[in-house]
Amino acid sequence: MPMIRRALTAIVLACTAVAASASTVTYDFSLTIDSGSLSGNSYTGWFSFDTANNQVLSDFSFTFRGVPYDETTANTGSLSFDSGGALTDFEIGNDCTGSSCQVVGFSSDWLMTASGFTYGDNIPGDLFGKSFSSGPTFALRDGGGNVPEPTSLALVLAAGAFASAFRRRT
């Protein structure tokens, strides 16, 4: 009977550790502005998110118009995935609320999606004050790996205490 309890405890521990792991996924992107006052300028950067909370950027790097943006100054409007978990679309900008971002004309706002880049522009005679460009190219960066979630350690310690209690009783 003690062997069965130990085997069941080991199985529960293994399943808990697998279920509680997450992965940090990083995408590199580049874009070349093809309209407006910044036409011809190129930009690069990256963004990361944790698969356990895949609606929030965990890391971000992008400099636009000389202003550096990171995960605290850029916002995730949304991240969309296919049924296999691959990123299919995203909405990231510096003026987002909830799950959407906007670009106010004649402003320093910007918005990047998988299909386009929009930025506030100041072109004489333009009624809208916005410029649009084709989408950035983005690619999954190699090297993402499983990272234990903070609750994993607590679960492993609790299971260890549980196993020790059974061991002392027998």
Predicted confidence at residue 11, as pLDDT, reads 52
Stated length of the chain: 170
**pLDDT exceeds 60 at position 146:** no
Q: What is the C-alpha separation between 100 and 76, in angstroms, rounded?
A: 8
Predicted confidence at residue 92, as pLDDT, reads 96
Q: What is the reported pTM? A: 0.71
Model confidence at 5, pLDDT cuts 50, 70, 90, reads low
- Higher-pLDDT residue of 25 and 126 is 25
Residue by residue, DSSP assigns the chain as -HHHHHHHHHHHHHHHHHHTEEEEEEEEEEEE--SSTTTT-EEEEEEEEETTEEEEEEEEEEEETTEEEETTTSEEEEEEE-TTS-EEEEEEESSEETTEE---TTSS-EEEESSEEEEE---TT-SS-EEEEEPPEEEEPTT--EEE-HHHHHHHHHHHHHHHHHHHH-
